[in-house]
């Protein structure tokens, strides 16, 4: 019953996370698009009112006109809409998911004793500490003299993120490492909103209400963090879905694949932003495509050993699956924290095992991500037996 209740909690929080995440990302992408499509106002009266750019659009059966003021409007409106709770709820629900899946289920999804011998307490402390530390280091860099040079700052941030990707894979299992990398980026994004962008907006509102022009440094800081957020978005979205693709986080060089896929996502976002400005370069998309192709090539499964002609003993294979896999992959799982067979894969009968032969080999041999954290102690000899069996025609 406890595992079933946890699954329901997982479902509801994940659903909330998707809803508020879509709302946040949608608003963020829209305002980046809007800012890059503004045109000079067409009427002198608008210029005199302080309008710096305008845009006309048609949607949902109506025409819209958006204006952006150079500094402040002549008078503050009665209703001013803010965009912040979408970001805050995305982080709150995301952190709740991190706790439900990776901290409550640390032995399953976070700790891999083949990577590092960690206690649950140590693993969780490292996870939370690194997420907080990532924001602190990033924020200090953005407030340092380095921030005056966007390219230099971006280069340093990229190198530090590469280091973080590598470091996570040295202490956590691949799935947990990827998720913490994404959680660190997501926390930076939300902290940018809460600690820089919204305070800058509040200062602008106070200045406008007092009839004075706001200090431009607040707007510049908010703009810088907003730009960083838009380039972090696609890497974070990749991490959110990465747990479905073991060939990435289960790869021998999973940290390199994480860096390559994150960079590809950032480059794709760069291309879209440049496209808004009418100056997109095909080289950006080509670079992203090359990175994706390299990841696909790196993840190619090893060719089967055709020299292994002697038939594998399926009875032994079935025994290994029963001992190492069936505690989770059963109609009624016995593994703590598992309420239903992951992805609906049940491995209790000979027919079920044969039907999933390719998947079993991919998860236990090619990526070695199963059993998670090797909780059931599958040996290298047992993995070799499965590889040998799968290499044979599945008729025995």
Taking the chain (396 residues) in runs of 10, the rounded mean pLDDT of each run is 82 95 94 90 88 92 91 85 94 96 91 92 97 97 93 95 97 95 97 94 87 82 90 96 90 95 96 87 93 91 56 83 89 83 85 86 84 85 86 64
Q: What is the pLDDT of residue 306?
A: 47
Q: In the beta sheet, which residues pair with residue 63?
A: 58
Q: What is the dihedral of CA 153, 158, 160, 163, to 10 degrees?
A: -170
Label residue 303 exposed, middle or buried (CB < 10 Å: 0-12, 13-18, 19+): exposed
Residue recorded with tokens 């230099």:
152
Residue 113 phi/psi, 5-degree rounding, is: -70, -10
The per-residue pLDDT for 310 is 60
Q: Give kind and range of the element (H or E) at residue 324.
A: helix 314-324
- Rounded Cα distance, 86 and 23, in Å: 6
Determine the 3-state secondary structure of 58 from DSSP: strand
The pTM of the full predicted model, rounded to 2 decimals, is 0.86
Both structure tokens of 72: 């402040």
**Cis check: omega of the bond before 371, within 30 degrees of 0:** yes
What lies within 8 Å, CB to CB, of 278 at 6+ separation is none
Q: Are 350 and 314 spatial neighbours (Cβ–Cβ below 8 Å)?
A: yes
Distance CA 287, CA 106 (A): 36
Q: Is 19 helix (H, G, I), strand (E, B) or coil?
A: helix
Structure tokens at 69: 């003021």
Average pLDDT, the chain: 89
Q: Where on the phi/psi map is residue 368: left (φ > 0), alpha (ψ -120 to 50), or beta?
A: left
- Helices 174-192 and 216-242: angle between axes, nearest 10 degrees: 160
H-only helix segments in 38-173: 44-48, 85-97, 106-109, 120-142, 150-171
User: What distances in angstroms separate CA 244 from CA 137, 178, 360, one per listed residue?
Assistant: 30, 12, 15
| pLDDT score of 95 | 97
Length of the chain as a residue count: 396
Report which of 224, 218, 214 is spatially closest to residue 146, judged by C-alpha positions. 224
76 DSSP assignment: -
What phi, psi does 309 have (nearest 5°)? -85, -25
Question: What is the pLDDT, as a whole number, of residue 393?
Answer: 66
Which residue, chain included where needed, has tokens 């039907």? 355
Residue 289's contacts (CB-CB under 8 Å, 6 or more residues apart) are: 264
Task: Give the Cα separation of 374 and 153 in Å (integer).
Answer: 40
For 258-290, what is each residue's pLDDT tens digit? 999 999 999 999 999 998 888 888 999 999 999
Rg (CA), the chain: 25
């Amino acid at each position: 019953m406890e595992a079933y209740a946890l699954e329901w909690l997982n479902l509801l929080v994940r659903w909330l996370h998707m809803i508020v995440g879509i709302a946040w990302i949608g608003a963020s992408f829209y305002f980046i698009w809007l800012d890059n499509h503004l045109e000079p106002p067409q009427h002198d009266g608008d210029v005199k009112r302080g309008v710096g750019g305008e845009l006309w659009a048609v949607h949902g059966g109506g025409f819209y006109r958006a204006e952006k003021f150079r500094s402040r409007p002549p008078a503050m409106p009665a209703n001013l809409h803010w965009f912040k709770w979408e970001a805050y709820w995305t982080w709150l629900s995301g952190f709740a998911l991190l706790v439900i899946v990776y901290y409550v289920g640390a032995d399953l999804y976070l700790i891999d004793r083949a990577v590092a011998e960690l206690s649950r307490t140590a693993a969780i402390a490292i996870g939370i500490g690194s997420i907080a530390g990532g924001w602190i280091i990033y924020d200090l860099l953005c407030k340092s003299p380095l921030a005056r040079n966007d390219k230099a700052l971006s280069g340093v941030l990229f190198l530090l993120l590469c280091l973080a990707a590598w470091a996570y894979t040295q202490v956590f299992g691949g799935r947990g490492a990827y998720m913490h990398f994404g959680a660190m980026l997501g926390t930076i994004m939300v902290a940018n909103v809460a600690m820089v962008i919204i305070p800058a907006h509040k200062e602008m509102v106070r200045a406008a209400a007092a009839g004075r022009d706001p200090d431009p440094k607040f707007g510049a800081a908010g703009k810088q963090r907003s730009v960083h957020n838009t380039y972090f978005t696609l890497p974070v979205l990749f991490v959110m879905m990465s747990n479905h693709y073991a060939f990435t986080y289960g790869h021998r060089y999973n940290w390199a694949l994480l860096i390559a896929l994150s960079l590809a996502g950032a480059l794709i976002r760069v291309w879209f932003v440049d496209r808004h400005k009418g100056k997109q370069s095909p080289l950006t998309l080509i670079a992203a495509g090359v990175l994706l192709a390299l990841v696909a090539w790196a993840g190619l499964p090893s060719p089967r050993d055709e020299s292994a002609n002697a038939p594998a003993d399926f009875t032994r294979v079935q025994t290994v699956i029963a001992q190492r896999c069936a505690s989770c992959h059963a109609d009624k799982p016995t593994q703590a924290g598992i309420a239903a067979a992951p992805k609906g894969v049940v491995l209790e009968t000979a027919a079920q095992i044969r039907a999933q032969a390719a998947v079993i080999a991919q998860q236990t041999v090619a990526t070695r991500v199963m059993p998670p954290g090797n909780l059931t102690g599958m040996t290298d000899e047992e993995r070799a037996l499965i590889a040998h069996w799968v290499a044979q025609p599945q008729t025995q």
